[in-house]
Amino acid sequence: MPFTDIIGHSVPITWLRHAIQSQHLAHAYLFVGDEAIGKRMTAMQFIQAMNCENTMLNSRPDACGQCRTCQQITTSIHPDILFIQPDEGQTQHPQIKIERVREIEHHVIYKPLIGLRKICLIDQADRLTIGAANALLKTLEEPPDHCLFILISSRPIALLPTLKSRCLLVRFSSPSQEDVTQHLLDRDKLTESDARFISFVTNGRIGEALTLDLKTVKAKQKEFFTLLFEPSDHSLTNRFAAAEALSKSGQIPEGILWLWAGLRDLLLVATQAPPTLILNQERLAKLQELADCLTLHQILNLLDELYQLELGQQRNLNMQVGFEQFFIHLRETIPVPSR
Ligand SMILES: [Zn+2]
């Protein structure tokens, strides 16, 4: 797979390609950025481009993805490349233990067998135990000339500062929702609204976007739309029960996001935005009906209240009370259908 197949990240990719082309490669790189946005994929591509039998160094270095070396890298059997990731085991918090670092030490001590360098990719490097991180630091302080390390982390704050200082930092930012939407449209047989929906829900986390179960997430979307605009029972008791359930669900940020998605659509319909931007495509009629009897001010007030709830959560607000206030306000704002 060539670099051009990676969504976004044009800045780090240009930079890495330039490093290969000019043969100015560092001994250690640290790739940082949010989870599931393509850091590992770029690292794999970087490794392939460095080793590919068909790489043309005088043009733009890239991997063919087809040669024997590229295949060996894809299937993790290339003898010069070691892939390390946390030991899933039985624990809730998988770690990279010192034994794995010993494996790294053993790997890098010998000269490469096929390629020009011994490469070690450490995914979720922030999961190194303190002992393991200190042992790795020793290797990084005096790395053999023929080796190259790539550490990947979405929580660089949890990395040993001395370890970080030994690496060249490469920052990754999330691809735009537009880029993710376009990629999904090119790759899968999705409708534009579904592709847009997936990129909104995953917020540029391409790894998640590609594996998301559309059916499950759509059910969740419908559930929250109903909760917002079409509850079976408009009584205060019912609304309080919803507030309690949400605050105790253990998925408060997700709940706020879904409530946000419904109100966002209402605002878009009320401001006559292009229909393709609406996430609740199946519920356009209901959104239009609501938009016809609410003012923009009322919708913005509800959105603002959700925003305050989100901030409140970060400040340890009593979320049950917060959701109760939101639902009371919602009940006062949204007209109850006459029977
Ligand atoms: Zn190749």
291-305: pLDDT as tens digits:
999 999 999 999 999
* b/e burial code for range 151-185 (CB count within 10 A of at least 16 → b): bbbbebeebbeebbebbeebebebbebebbbbbbb
- At residue 145's C-alpha, the angle toward residues 140 and 150, to 5°, is 50
The pLDDT tens digits of the residues spanning 68-78 come to: 999 999 999 99
Tokens 């200190």 sit on residue: 134
Q: What are phi and psi of 62, to 5 degrees?
A: -155, 170
- Give the Å distance between the CA of 118 and the centre of ligand 1: 17
pTM here is: 0.76
- Give the Å distance between the CA of 46 and the centre of ligand 1: 12
Beta strands in the chain (DSSP E): 28-32, 81-84, 118-122, 147-153, 168-171
Is residue 5 scored above 90 in pLDDT? no
Distance of CA 319 to the CA centre of its chain: 26
- Give the Å distance between the CA of 70 and the centre of ligand 1: 4
Tokens 């039998």 sit on residue: 53
Residues in the chain: 339
Q: How many CB atoms lie within 10 A of CB 78?
A: 23
- Give the Å distance between the CA of 235 and the centre of ligand 1: 65
The pLDDT tens digits of the residues spanning 14-66 come to: 999 999 999 899 999 999 999 889 999 999 999 999 999 887 655 678 888 89
Distance CA 164, CA 29 (A): 9
- Give the Å distance between the CA of 9 and the centre of ligand 1: 21
- Give the Å distance between the CA of 52 and the centre of ligand 1: 4
| For range 280-309, the mean pLDDT | 94
Distance CA 282, CA 222 (A): 9
Radius of gyration of the chain (CA): 25
| For range 224-250, the mean pLDDT | 90
- Give the Å distance between the CA of 188 and the centre of ligand 1: 26
| For range 326-333, the mean pLDDT | 93
Distance CA 30, CA 94 (A): 20
Contact between residue 300 and residue 310 where contact means Cβ atoms under 8 Å apart: no
The contacts of residue 176 (CB under 8 Å, 6+ apart) are: 8, 204
- Give the Å distance between the CA of 69 and the centre of ligand 1: 6
Is residue 184 scored above 80 in pLDDT? yes
